[in-house]
Amino acid sequence: MFLVELSYNTIKEEIKELEQRKNRKAYALKDSSDQLTKDSEKLIKFIDTDNKTTSDRSKDAELAATETKNALNRINGYNSQI
């Protein structure tokens, strides 16, 4: 009877230890999932901001090119008048 009780207690302790390991891994998995979600949101926000900035700079570059072209046309006009 003693050996049966000893085996029972040993198995019970092993089950308890396995449950604790399972709970720790479940917590770590949930924490990793939450962190991944946060990182994904940050990445999407960064990409949106970068796209807006790129678009704004592209418009600025086009405007500067147009202004430069207009200035060159005026200069050429003045040169032809001279």
Q: Which of the four pLDDT bands, split at 50, 70 and 90, describes residue 79?
A: confident
Q: Which of the four pLDDT bands, split at 50, 70 and 90, describes residue 2?
A: confident
- Give the per-residue pLDDT at 1: 81
Which DSSP helix (H) or strand (E) runs through 81?
Answer: helix 2-81
The string of pLDDT tens digits covering residues 11-62 is 999 999 999 999 999 999 999 999 999 999 999 999 999 999 999 999 999 9
SS3 3: helix
Distance, first Cα to last Cα, the chain: 120
Global pTM reads 0.60
Give me the phi and psi of 9, to 5 degrees please. Answer: -65, -40
